[in-house]
Amino acid sequence: MINSTLCLEVFRQCVSDFHQHNNVDAQADNPYPEASAAHLLYRKHYIDTVQWHLEDIVRDPHIDPVAALALKRRIDQSNQDRTDLVEQIDDYFLKAFAGVVPLDKARVNTESPAWAIDRLSILVLKIWHMQEEVNRQDADASHRDKCSQKLHVLLEQQLDLSTSIDELLADLASGRMHMKVYRQMKMYNDPALNPVLYKQQS
């Protein structure tokens, strides 16, 4: 079963693997069996890791405008891929909890387990890159100290979020929470729902 411990293990492995080459065009070499939950989590985090670096690149003030537009469209597609993977992870949980009968007073959480895991994935990236800033030898002591304070907060947040995810999963398994998923239904990538796109077809 997916839990926060597995997520953190896979996410940390993935971000470490990416920084061996640090190349947004490199293909992921997923080390986990294809049918496993860990494989799905690795794919999800690899998308997030690549997108993190694309967001850095596109903010270069000297970037060629044509290249920037191409990157923006690539980021849009990455966001769609990210959403698709989150929904696949929620499908995993829907299947895992399919036999659970919710209690009479079962509650619905503000977000699904997979979207909470999505936030944990981004938090792992924040921690990795804040640690890089703490270790920067070309930055002054004031910068490193400020980043160290931020890192402390991020690590506390990671602990709290991990605990919350595991408590949510325990509540879903016991029927205290009702597993319910609302799909994102993103409109801007859909030619039938984005007016800029469908008006061009008429």
Residue with tokens 């990795």: 128
- Please indicate, yes or no, if residue 199 is contained in any of the structural domains: no
- Please indicate, yes or no, if residue 200 is contained in any of the structural domains: no
Q: Stretch 85-103: mean pLDDT, rounded?
A: 96
- Please indicate, yes or no, if residue 108 is contained in any of the structural domains: yes
Q: Stretch 111-130: mean pLDDT, rounded?
A: 98
The pLDDT tens digits of the residues spanning 16-73 come to: 999 999 999 999 999 999 999 999 999 999 999 999 999 999 999 999 999 999 999 9
Nearest to 117 by CA among 36, 32, 175, 40: 40
Q: Which domain holds residue 140?
A: 4-187
Distance between CA 91 and CA 94 in Å, rounded?
A: 5
185, pLDDT greater than 90: no
Nearest to 12 by CA among 173, 90, 149, 126: 126
- Cβ contacts of residue 84 below 8 Å, gap of 6+? none
Angle of CA points 147, 151, 153, to nearest 5°: 120
Concatenated DSSP letters of 20-52: HH--TTSPP---S-TTSHHHHHHHHHHHHHHHH
Locate 177 and state its tokens: 């929470």
- Please indicate, yes or no, if residue 198 is contained in any of the structural domains: no
- Please indicate, yes or no, if residue 201 is contained in any of the structural domains: no
CA distance between the termini of the chain? 48
The total number of structural domains in the chain stands at: 1
pLDDT band at 197 (very low <50, low <70, confident <90, very high): confident
The answer to whether the beta carbons of residues 180 and 93 sit under 8 Å apart is no
Q: Stretch 78-91: mean pLDDT, rounded?
A: 95
- Please indicate, yes or no, if residue 54 is contained in any of the structural domains: yes
- Please indicate, yes or no, if residue 159 is contained in any of the structural domains: yes
The answer to whether the beta carbons of residues 30 and 43 sit under 8 Å apart is yes
- Please indicate, yes or no, if residue 194 is contained in any of the structural domains: no
The pLDDT tens digits of the residues spanning 135-183 come to: 999 999 999 999 999 999 999 999 999 999 999 999 999 999 999 888 8
Distance between CA 70 and CA 53 in Å, rounded?
A: 15
3-state SS class at 177 = strand
pLDDT of residue 156: 98
Distance between CA 202 and CA 200 in Å, rounded?
A: 6
pLDDT of residue 202: 64
